[in-house]
Copies of this chain bind each other. A is one copy, B any other.
């Protein structure tokens, strides 16, 4: 299926660009440059015809008018569904067509960091299967974990503390184990098992300091103590349980 580019052409590059959690100011200077210089910028959306922009799309549009939507399925519950695999294939085919039409650089904008629970990982692999000579690069981005720490005034790690990052799509047990073994624990994709996760934090005696965050940097941002949660929680919500610190700062 892959075609070699014409001789003398630059190696085609696919660049995963982390655009941070949603606030357009939380992208790096490099991300802005790469988005502006790319021959094609792709942004993932849940549905091609959706009226509102996707979260990555909103950030990209703050810096360049050129952003083309590709449809990605959000959920990774239950592993790789046929629908998700079909979405990656369609996006990879779009990248392949762009290279065939002469594009040297295709950027794919991804919320957060392209190497942390990102759909870019799957897209890159699928493109590699189609375009053997492609060079894949990434530009790091601010993660939700870091943004929630900043917005809530919570130190993630200091001194010799450790940090565990888990996703609750793996169930609550890895989260419970992390609570037992680590100083600071961050859980992503907290929505579907919010009740169980809050119970696990409470069982560990760590609910009092826990911080909840969703829609970070968006107009309807929600950051508050996890103990105050009630009602449904969005899929992409984050739970942050900081290390227990009996003394602080200069008085450690």
Q: Does A150 contact B (CB under 8 A)?
A: yes
In this complex, which of A136, A142, A169 has the most chain B Cβ atoms within 10 angstroms of its Cβ?
A142
Stretch from A40-48, A95-103, A177-185, A223-231 contacting the other chain:
A177-185
Q: Does A249 contact B (CB under 8 A)?
A: yes
Q: Is A89 close to B, CB under 8 A?
A: yes
A146-B136 CB under 8 A given contacts A26-B28, A162-B164: no
* Cβ-defined contact, B249 with A115, below 8 A: no
Of A79, A115, A138, most B-chain CB atoms within 10 Å: A115
Interface range for A: 35 or more
A136→B117 contact, CB < 8 A = no
Tell me the number of copies of this protein.
Answer: 2
> For window 122-173 of chain A, which residues contact chain B by CB distance below 8 Å?
122, 124-126, 128-129, 136-143, 146-147, 149-150, 153-167, 169-170
A155 and B250 contacting across the interface, CB-CB below 8 Å: no
**Given known A26-B140, A28-B25, A147-B140, contact A165–B160 (CB-CB < 8 A):** no
Chain B proximity of A245: nearest CB distance (Å): 10
B117 engages A76 (CB within 8 Å): no
B-chain residues with CB within 8 Å of residue A124 when the two chains form the complex: 249
Binds B, one of A1-9, A29-37, A194-202: A29-37
Chain A facing B: main interface SS = mixed
State A138–B167 Cα separation when bound (angstroms): 25
Q: Is A57 an interface residue (CB 8 A)?
A: no
B250 and A149 contacting across the interface, CB-CB below 8 Å: no
Q: Does A212 contact B (CB under 8 A)?
A: no
Asked if A244 is at the interface of the complex by the 8 Å CB criterion, the answer is no
In the complex, are the beta carbons of A164 and B164 less than 8 A apart? yes
Known: A140-B147, A160-B169. A27 touches B26 (CB 8 A): no
Q: How far is the CA of A150 from the CA of B115 in the complex (A)?
A: 7
Known: A26-B29, A27-B28, A121-B158. 18 other contacts (CB 8 A): A28-B28, A28-B142, A89-B250, A115-B156, A116-B146, A118-B158, A121-B249, A122-B252, A137-B153, A138-B149, A138-B153, A140-B150, A159-B167, A162-B166, A163-B165, A164-B164, A165-B165, A177-B181
